[in-house]
Amino acid sequence: MKKVLIFIGLVAIAIIIGVGGSRSAIPVLKYFSPATVTVINATGNIMSDVTVVLDKASARIGDLKDCRQATVSVPGHFSECSTHVNWRDVAGTNSASAGDYMEGCGFYHSTVVVTPDKKAKAIYGRIEP
């Protein structure tokens, strides 16, 4: 609820000073957009049923071939957390934490590489506006 009130206040201020329809309002609106995560498969195998989890919010990628990447928005309300990637491969079910820092709004994006040893490594964090 607090985020909604802040959002409404920022939009009202933008309209009052005359930037409601201009490019200046875009960063304000993007601040409240869902966090995004790019997963890069460097495992050497196909990753099946790939899901990105941020606290209690999640987004499904599906299958991801080796040396490929996919980006998803993770909608939902969550606070400070790390990106987790869940997937299946020929050896079974896997889960790995990237050890990064994410929040539900604020231009957050993480790029995560899943390595052959089935670990997730964040190689890029928060986007600045």
Q: Where does CATH 2.60.40.2890 sit in the chain? A: 34-124
Do 86 and 95 form a contact (C-beta atoms < 8 A)?
yes
Q: Which amino acid is at 86?
A: N
Q: Measuring CA to CA, which residue among 89, 81, 88, 87 is closest to residue 110?
A: 81
CA distances from 81 to 4, 108, 110 (A): 21, 11, 12
Structure tokens, 19: 């930037």
Question: What is the pLDDT at residue 33?
Answer: 83
Do 100 and 122 form a contact (C-beta atoms < 8 A)?
yes
List the pLDDT tens digit at each of the 129 positions of the chain.
666 666 666 666 666 555 545 555 566 667 778 899 999 999 999 999 999 999 999 999 999 999 999 999 999 888 899 999 999 999 999 999 999 999 887 788 899 999 999 999 998 755 444
CATH class of 34-124: mainly beta
Question: What is the pLDDT at residue 128?
Answer: 47
Q: CA 9, 13, 19: angle at the middle one, nearest 5?
A: 135
CA atoms of 31 and 3, how far apart (whole Å): 11
Question: What is the pLDDT at residue 129?
Answer: 46
Question: What is the pLDDT at residue 25?
Answer: 58
